[in-house]
Amino acid sequence: MVAIRLPDGTEREFEEGATAREIAASIGTRLAQAAVAAVANDVVVDLDRPIEPANDAPVALRILTPKDRESLDVLRHSTAHLMARAIMRLYPGVQLAFGPTTAQGFYYDVLSAGRPISEADFPAIEAEMAAIVRAAEPFERFSLPVDQARAFCSDLGQKFKVEHIDTELHQYGVLSFYRQGEFVDLCRGPHIPSAAKAGAFKLLSIAGAYWKGRADGPTLQRIYGTAFFDKKELDAHLSRLEEAKKRDHRKLGKELGLFTISPMVGSGLVLWMPKGAIIRGVLESFVKDELIKDGYQPVYTPHIGKIELYQTSGHYPYYKDSQFPTLRLLSDAALALVELLESGSGDDAAQRKLLTDAGIPESMPRPVADATGESASESYWDLNPAGRVEYVERCGVAEEYLLKPMNCPHHIQIFAAQPRSYRDLPVRLAEFGTVYRYEQSGELSGLTRVRGFTQDDAHLFCTEDQVRGEFRATMELTRRILAGLGLTDYRLRLSKHDPSDAKYQGAAGETWRRAEDDIRAVLDEMRLPYDEASGEAAFYGPKADFIVRDCIGRQWQLGTVQLDYVLPERFKLDYTGADNHPHRPVMIHRAPLGSMERFFGILIEHFAGAFPLWLAPEQIRVLSVSDKTADYARGVLDRLLEHGFRAAIDHRAEKIGAKIRDAQLEKIPVMLVVGAKEAESGSVAYRDRHDGDQGSMSLEAAIERLETERRERVVRHVVEASATPEDHGSEQHAY
């Protein structure tokens, strides 16, 4: 007998081997009909699998119906199987890789034997899936010992499954399979009992993916889809996706004239248009005001720095691949020699003298990279003129600069420029510093992933005793700034090092552990929920990251606060302590917004382009009902400008309805409509973008209202930052 405890607390006994379906049936036929799967002691199981008795205690059993959140994952995973089955029918010889569920649906990675699958094939695949659903065959589970399972997959010709067994599953004694008609797949389950339960599904997109994420491995086709129990839910989901697209910052940025990216300038290099620049300027002032309150000191530093600076900091050559190539300047003698060679004149003696002047040896060890296998060194004199020029350009570099990939080395030089006492600490140096990183072309995306961006950066130099207090203050500053912009839908991540990653070599120490403990302590003290992620730390230290989603559900790191014991060591920074001995300071790197570009992108989507009054590029538009009141409208505009508002006037020969519509579409927060009535009484008809017509009021009253809204930085009608409310499953949410 197996003892079962139901959610209402009642306990009942069933025959050994009883299935969840049978138990459901004993409760009620309707429950059994609606059942999709079950949860036995917190594990989701198939409806038709016998319930395993637990040691002594009764098994806590819950029957899942389409109303339960867990059911959706089961359905989607099963729908992935249906899709794979349909694809197998239409594309014989397809190799199946992985087919999991996601927060939004499911995908299956496949490798087709012949013609690749394209989106044009979706209708055919969906039709085949529909036919499979109509056939309503059951999902049948069976198990095989691991060696038989391997042979079975091998017989099926599924080499990815075989490899998966060999590399990861071989330690399990028994592996489970699911059979659905002619289709069998290695799978842990659970599944819906029958294809008949699958109802509303849609294939969404297709993209490349690597087998087990390895870029050197074969490229698979990943086919995305989603599924719901109810067609209405599917339609609602699809229309939500459509809505989300309308909020895409790339689309809104173009429509509202906020920014542009020109291939002539370069991919990932953002051009801020006047309206976008206004918003950025307001944001920067907002942040600066907060920084001053917290004792930060503004600094400015250049966009480039000598290569030696980054060699000391460790940024170069670690991150050589993600940096723009260095700027190499030849010495005068080397330049003269190149000129000489290119002019074709110059005897050996002249060349030898210039080589000496330039400090270039006459023979060099051959670089390993282009070693052709023969000689281990190359001599200047063995080369033809073109080769000699190349040689000189390679060896005659007097100075080498790097576009800065980070601001910290520059700020460190400011700290190090004068002797520091413990009394001076903490020193907090802040700058909107522009940095350049050569991101892979496939990574670039609107404003959220770019190659040149400005961080709202600052570096704090403090004593060990001050670390926790300063770290906490920076966390609070970040939260304050984000909250001021109405951004609260983020999660926090404690990014730790990964001991097995070469990037953190030398990180295996007491200081790293202490730094991670410090951050954890502050987060706990502030009662902030967070999750921890290994391998996400910067190479110089662990960090606390603020992560938000964009309108299509992608997650981005915005604000970050990082603790650093490494760079002060590398740069041998010190301050004089109370004991009159030198001590090493600790650094905190922090950027509440992260980068202006990415933050702006997220903010556009957050407000769906409808910026609050204090941020809006054009805050107020005066709409004259007709030309007859144009002069009065002009007077109203002047008063607004006097009060420091960004206002404009619409004097087109259009009807008032058209002017309102256009202002509305341009997302102008406030419209002041003026006609004969208003001109007569010195009033304005106040129209709010969100709340509509507010009626007439005196111009003074309107200005008063506007000033209040601006001063208090009122943030209203914030659109949910996530377009995906039905999020569930594997995603972790700290909130």
Which residues in the 534-593 window bind RNA by CB under 7 A?
Answer: 536, 538-540, 552, 554
| Residue written as token pair 């010889």 | 93
**Which residues ranging from 24 to 83 are in contact with RNA (CB under 7 A)?**
none
Please tell me which residue in 21, 437, 687, 710 is annotated as part of the active site: 437
CB 236 within 8 A of CB 228: no
Please state whether 268 falls in left (phi above 0), alpha (psi between -120 and 50) or beta.
Answer: left
The footprint of RNA on residues 273-292 (CB under 7 A) is: none
543 is catalytic: yes
* Choice from 309, 546, 675, 703 touching RNA (CB under 7 A): 675
For RNA, which is the closer residue by CB, 276 or 405?
Answer: 405
Residue given tokens 């020699």 in the structure block? 337
Of 125, 162, 673, 699, the residue at the interface with RNA (CB under 7 A) is: 673
- Comparing CB distances to RNA, the nearer of 53 and 553 is 553
User: Beta strands 106-111 and 219-228: pairing type?
Assistant: antiparallel
Active-site residue, from 104, 109, 161, 408: 408
Residue 393, number of CB atoms within 10 A of its CB: 15
Stretch of residues binding RNA (CB under 7 A), selected from 19-27, 163-171, 254-262, 326-334:
254-262
Q: Which stretch binds RNA (CB under 7 A): 72-80, 459-467, 480-488, 677-685?
A: 677-685
Which member of 249, 388, 459, 667 is catalytic? 459
Q: Which residues between 176 and 215 bind RNA (CB under 7 A)?
A: 205-210, 213, 215
Q: Which is nearer to RNA, 316 or 380 (CB)?
A: 316
C-beta separation of 547 from 559 below 8 A = no
Interaction with RNA in 98-137: which residues (CB under 7 A)? 116, 118-119
Q: Is 424 helix (H, G, I), strand (E, B) or coil?
A: helix
Integer Cα distance of 671 and 706 in angstroms = 11
Question: Using the rule CB under 7 A, is 685 a contact of RNA?
Answer: yes
Instruction: Compare residues 210 and 422 and give the one whose CB is closer to RNA.
Output: 210
- How many positions of this chain bind RNA (CB under 7 A)? 73
Annotation marks residue 249 as catalytic: no
On whether the CB atoms of residues 478 and 470 are closer than 8 A, the answer is no
The reply to whether 589 belongs to the active site is yes
Matching residue, tokens 């030696």: 308
Alpha-carbon Rg for the chain in angstroms: 33
Enter the tokens of residue 380: 């200047």
Going residue by residue from 322 to 341, which x/- string records binding to RNA, judged by CB under 7 A? Answer: xx------------------
Q: Which of 46, 109, 121, 457 is catalytic?
A: 457
Alpha-carbon gap, residue 589 to 461, rounded angstroms: 9
Looking only at residues 370 through 429 of this chain, which bind RNA when binding is defined by CB under 7 A? 405-406
Among 696, 707, 716, 728, binds RNA (CB under 7 A): 696
Q: Which stretch binds RNA (CB under 7 A): 165-173, 384-392, 459-467, 623-631?
A: 623-631
Cβ nearer to RNA, comparing 180 with 434 = 434
Residue 261 binds RNA, judged by CB under 7 A: yes
* Cα(218)–Cα(204) distance, integer angstroms: 23
**Token couple for 356:** 């000496």
Binding residues among 493-522 for RNA as defined by CB under 7 A: 503
**Collapsed DSSP state (helix, strand, coil) of residue 401:** strand
Chosen residue from 5, 62, 254, 520 binding RNA by CB under 7 A: 254
Among 9, 173, 442, 725, binds RNA (CB under 7 A): 442
Residue 445 or 534 with smaller CB distance to RNA:
445
Q: Is 394 a catalytic residue?
A: no
Q: Which of 141, 543, 606, 687 is catalytic?
A: 543
Q: Does 449 bind RNA (CB under 7 A)?
A: yes
What amino acid is encoded at 462 in this protein? C
Q: Are 195 and 129 in contact (CB under 8 A)?
A: no
- 410 or 583: CB nearest RNA: 410
* Residue 437 is among the residues annotated as catalytic for this protein: yes
Task: Reply yes or no on whether 462 is catalytic.
Answer: no
Given 158, 455, 557, 562, the catalytic residue = 455
Query: SS in 3 state form for 683-700?
Result: EEEEEECCCEEEEEEEHH
92 vs 266 by CB, closer to RNA: 266
- Ranges of beta strands (E only) in 161-270 are 174-180, 183-186, 200-210, 219-228, 259-260
Q: Name which position in 418, 692, 711, 735 contacts RNA (CB under 7 A).
A: 692
**Chosen residue from 99, 190, 253, 268 binding RNA by CB under 7 A:** 268
Residue of 41, 112, 311, 445 interacting with RNA (CB under 7 A): 445
**369: three-class secondary structure by DSSP:** coil
- Residues 146/151/154/160 CA torsion (nearest 10 deg): 10
Residue 228 makes contact with RNA by CB under 7 A: no
- Part of the chain binding RNA (CB under 7 A), chosen from 314-322, 349-357, 511-519, 722-730: 314-322
Which residues, other chains included, contact 613 with Cβ-Cβ below 8 Å and sequence gap of 6+?
619, 669, 670, 706, 709, 710, 714
Nearer to RNA, 292 or 676 (CB): 676
Is residue 315 involved in binding RNA (CB under 7 A)?
yes
Cα 228 to Cα 108: distance, rounded to the nearest angstrom: 17
Q: Work out how close the CB of 52 gets to RNA at its nearest, in angstroms, rounded to a whole number.
A: 34
Q: Is 497 a catalytic residue?
A: no
Nearest distance from residue 119's CB to RNA, in Å? 6
CB of 322 to RNA, least distance (A): 3
Alpha carbon distances (Å) from 242 to 135, 248, 487: 32, 10, 23
Among candidate residues 423, 451, 447, the one with its CA nearest the CA of residue 436: 451
For position 244 contacting RNA by CB under 7 A, the verdict is no
Q: Which is nearer to RNA, 604 or 673 (CB)?
A: 673
Tokens of 584: 């090493």
**Neighbour tally for 189: CB within 10 Å:** 18
CB of 624 to RNA, least distance (A): 7
**Pairing relationship of beta strands 219-228 and 2-5 according to DSSP bridges:** unpaired
From the candidates 589, 667, 687, 689, which is the catalytic residue? 589
User: Beta-carbon neighbour count of residue 239 at 10 Å?
Assistant: 10
As a whole number of angstroms, the longest Cα–Cα distance in the chain is 104
Closest listed residue to residue 341, CA positions, set 398, 396, 378: 396
Query: What is the SS3 assignment for 722?
Result: coil
Verify binding: residue 235, RNA, rule CB under 7 A: no
**Site residues for RNA, window 642-671 (CB under 7 A)?**
653-658, 660-661, 664-665, 671
Q: What does 208-222 look like in DSSP terms, one character per residue?
A: EEEGGG-TTSPEEEE
- Residue 37 CB, nearest distance to RNA (Å)? 26
**Strand, coil or helix: 412:** helix
**Residues recognised as catalytic:** 408, 437, 455, 457, 459, 543, 589
